[in-house]
Chain A
Amino acid sequence: MALLEVKDLKVRVEEREILHGLTLTVNEGEVHAIMGPNGSGKSTLSHVIAGKPGYEVTDGQILFKGEDLLEMDPDERAAKGVFLAFQYPVEIPGVATMTFLRTALNAQRKARGESEYSTPDFLKKVREVSKSLNVPQDMLKRGVNVGFSGGEKKRNEVLQMALFEPSLCILDEMDSGLDIDALRIAADGVNALRSPKRAMVVITHYQRLLNYIVPDFVHVMSRGRVVKSGDKELALELEASGYTQFEDAA
C-alpha cells in the first residue's frame, strides 16, 4: 500500500478552481520533489494535505496509509504522521517553545493511545534531538518563533520534524527566505531524517534546494496538474529551460 495517494484531486478556493485533478503516489522511504511556477498550485496541495481551512475539495480523494485523510481534522492528521513544514512558520508570542513542543508531542501521543512523556523524559528527548540538529538551547527558551531569523524558523520546523517522527514530511518552499548557509543547515537536518520508513514531499520553485535534498522523483506542476514526472535529471532540465514549455503544454 502506498503511504500517500492523491487521486484526481480537485480543489477550489472561494469560487476559483486551483487544482484540476491532481494525482500523486508516494511510497515509504521516497523523496518526491514538486516543482512549478508561482500559482501552479504547489502550496495549495500542501495545505489541503495538512487540512488548512478555506479549501474546498470538490472531487477526488487523499488516502494516507489507506485511510481517508480528508475526513480527519488537522490534529488527527498530525497524530497519524503527517507533518507540514510551513513556508512561513508563524510567531506565537507568549507560548514558550518548550511548552509548545511538549504539548504538541503529548497531544499526538495521547491521540495514538500512547503514554504521554513526563517532563524529565521530554526534556531528555528534546536535548538529544536539538543536539543532533545543532539547535541552540537558547532558541527553545523563547516564544515560538518569536524574533527568530528565517533560518532559525526553518530549523525549528526541522526540530519538530525530528521530535514528532512523522511518516510523511511535506516541506513547503523550505528555501524561501534562506541564504545559502541557512539553507545548507536546514537541508542537512532534513537529510538526517531520511529513512526507509519516512517519505518526503519537497515543494520548491527553484532547483537549488534539490542540490542539497536530492529527490528520487521530480514532478512538474503547472496550472493545477502534474504535467511531467521524472527523476532528479528533470530538475536540472528545468533549471536550464525554465517552466515556459510546461505552461504552454498545460
Chain B
Amino acid sequence: MNVAVAKTGSGRAVSDLFTSAEGRLPGSPAVIATRRDAFETYERLGLPHRRIEEWKYTDLRALVGELLPLAAAPDAAALASAADAVKAHAVAGARKLVLVDGVFAAGLSDVKALASEVGFKTLQETLEKDAGLLKTAAVDAVISLNAAMASDGVVLSIADGAQLSAPIQIIHVATAASASAFTRSQVAVGKGVRATIIESFVAAGAKAYQVNDAVILSIGDDADVAHIRLLDDAPDAVNITSQFVTVGANTKVNFFNMTSGAAVSRLQGFITLAGEGSDLSINGVNLLQKTEHGDTTLVVDHAVPNCVSREIFRAVIDDRAHSVFQGRIIVRPDAQKTDGKMMTRALLLSDEAEADNKPELEIFADDVSCGHGATAGALDDNLLFYLKARGLPEKQAQALLIQAFVGEAIEQIADDNLREHVIGIAERWLERRS
C-alpha cells in the first residue's frame, strides 16, 4: 500500500496507517477527532515531493516511499535493550527523559531528579484533557501526520527565574525495526531562565525505522537557553523533525544540531524572534557518508526590531552522500535594525558528494543588515601534505582536518561534559568512514 497517493474528492477514507493505529493513540474523543482531521490534511497533501518548493532537494516520495506502521508500545525486552542504549548515549550529569519507540519510559527517566522549578507531564497526560498541543501550524504534510499519529512526548515547563545547573536530555530510543515512532514534545521556558536542553536520537539495535518528531519550544524574556540536538540514528533510519520556536525579548538562544546518522533526515526549524533585543545563534553540523541524505531547513522570522541571528552550517560529505541546507530569513516591515546572517561551509570528501544550498532573504524593512555566504571545497592538499610529512597516514591526516572543520562549531557548546560527548560522536563517525 502506498499511503503517499493523494486522495481526491471529499471522501473520508483514511488509510490503514491511521485506522490500524487509531485504537492505540492516546486522547479523548475530541482529541481523536483532531487527529482524524490532521490525518485527512496529510492524506490530501501526501508525502512531500520535489515539486513542492520547500522539499525540492528532499523528495520524500522518492527517498522514503512508504510509511511504516506505528511501533508497538515497548515491552519489557524493548525497555531492557533501550536501557543499554540510554546508558551509552546519556550525557554525564544530565537529567534524562527517555522515549522508547515513541512512548515515555518512566523507568529509564530521571523525573524525580528534575529541579523543582521544572514541571513535567507526558504528552499522553495532556491529551486526556485537550488537543491543544496537536494544533501547531500545519505548515506541511509531515507536521499534519505528526499531529495525527503522535503517541507520546514530554511536556516541560521551566518556571521564571530558574537557573538549571544540570542539562535536561530527552533521549529518543528506537528498538522496533520497520516501524514508525511519532513524538511531539513541548518545552515552555519562563522569563530569566538559564537552561540547556539536549535531544538525542539513537537506536538500540533497531533497523530501518522511521521517526517523525515535533518540538514546540517557547522561550520567555531575559533567558539564556542552549538547545542541542544530536541525531545519531541507525544508518538505515529515517528521521523527520519539525521545531517550532518562539523567542521573547533580550534573550540569548544557542541552537546546535549535529546529524551523524540516518539514511534520510530532515530537520525543519521555524523560529520566530518575537521580542526585541534577542540574540539567536544556530550552529549546524552534518556528517554524512555512504548514500545518506541530510537536510536542514530553517526559517528565521524577525518579527520585531533589534534582533541578531547567526546561522553557521557545516557539512562534511563523503561517498555519495547529499547534504541540503535551506535557510530563509524573513524580516518583517517593523523589524528595523535586524542583523541576520547565514553561512554554509561544505567539505566534500569525494567526487560524488553533493551539497545543495538555498539561502533566501525576504526583507520588508529598510534599515537592516542581512547576508548569506557559502563555500564548498575539498580538504586542502597543502595541509594534508604537511600532516603526512609529519608521519600521519592519509586517513588520520584527513580525520584531524575534519575534526578541525567541525570543531569550530562544537567549541561553541559551553557545557564541558556535553562538548566531550559531541566530540565523541564525531570521532565515532570518523571511525566509521571506510
Contacts and interface: CB of A to CB of B under 8 A. Distances in A.
Interface of A: 50-53, 73-75, 77-79, 84, 86, 89-90, 92-95, 99-100, 103-105, 107-108, 111, 143, 160, 164
Interface in B340-399: 380-383, 385-394, 396-397
Given A92-B401, A93-B404, A73 B385 contact: no
A77 B391 CA distance: 8
The 10 tightest CB contacts between A and B, nearest first, are A94-B404, A108-B391, A78-B391, A74-B388, A104-B390, A107-B391, A95-B404, A94-B407, A90-B386, A75-B388
Given A107-B393, A107-B396, A164-B391, A53 B404 contact: no
9 contacts: A74-B388, A75-B388, A86-B386, A89-B386, A105-B391, A107-B392, A108-B390, A108-B391, A111-B391
Q: Quick one: which of A73, A86, A107, A164 has the most chain B CB within 10 A? A: A107
Contacts of A99: 400
A93 B383 CA distance: 10
B389 A51 contact: yes
B389 A74 contact: yes
A78 B387 CA distance: 10
Given A100-B400, A103-B400, A92 B392 contact: no
Nearest to B404: A94
Contact of B383 (A79, A90, A108): A90
Between B382, B387, B390, B404, the greatest number of chain A beta carbons within 10 A of the residue's beta carbon is seen for B390
A156 B390 CA distance: 13
A95 B393 contact: no
B55 interface: no
A94 B396 CA distance: 15
A95 B386 contact: no
Contact of A103 (B383, B392, B394, B407): B392
A92 B404 contact: yes
Contacts of B391: 75, 78-79, 104-105, 107-108, 111, 164
B387 A104 contact: yes
A201 to B, nearest CB: 15
A52, A74, A86, A111 — which one has the most chain B CB atoms within 10 A of its CB?
A74
Chain B, interface SS category:
helix
A79 B400 CA distance: 18
Most-contacted residue by chain B among A51, A92, A143 (CB, 10 A): A92
Nearest to A99: B400
Give the interface residue-count category, chain B: 20 to 34
A99 B396 CA distance: 12
Contacts of B392: 75, 103-104, 107
A169 to B, nearest CB: 12
Contacts of A77: 389
Contacts of B388: 51, 73-75, 78
Contact of A92 (B386, B394, B396, B408): B386
B339 to A, nearest CB: 25
Given A107-B392, A160-B390, A52 B385 contact: yes
A77 B385 CA distance: 12
Given A93-B408, A104-B387, A111-B391, 5 more contacts: A51-B389, A53-B385, A92-B404, A103-B400, A107-B390
Contacts of B393: 73, 75, 107, 111
A94 B390 contact: no
A107 B386 CA distance: 14
Contacts of A93: 404, 408
A216 to B, nearest CB: 25
B120 interface: no
A95 B394 contact: no
Nearest to B385: A52
Contacts of B387: 92, 100, 104
B403 interface: yes
Nearest to B400: A95
B405 interface: yes
Contacts of A94: 403-405, 407-408
A122 to B, nearest CB: 14
Contacts of B405: 94
A186 B185 CA distance: 61
A211 B400 CA distance: 39
A98 to B, nearest CB: 13
A50 B389 contact: yes
Nearest to A95: B404
A75 B407 CA distance: 24
B156 to A, nearest CB: 35
A84 B389 contact: yes
Nearest to A47: B385
A51 B400 CA distance: 20
A205 to B, nearest CB: 22
B385 A75 contact: no
Contacts of B381: 53
A89 B389 CA distance: 11
A50 B389 CA distance: 7
Count chain B CB atoms within 10 A of each CB in A52, A75, A99 and give the residue with the most: A75
B386 A103 contact: no
A78 B389 contact: yes
Contacts of A84: 389
B391 to A, nearest CB: 4
A95 B381 CA distance: 16
A92 B401 CA distance: 8
A78 B386 CA distance: 11
Contacts of A90: 380, 382-383, 386
Contacts of B380: 90
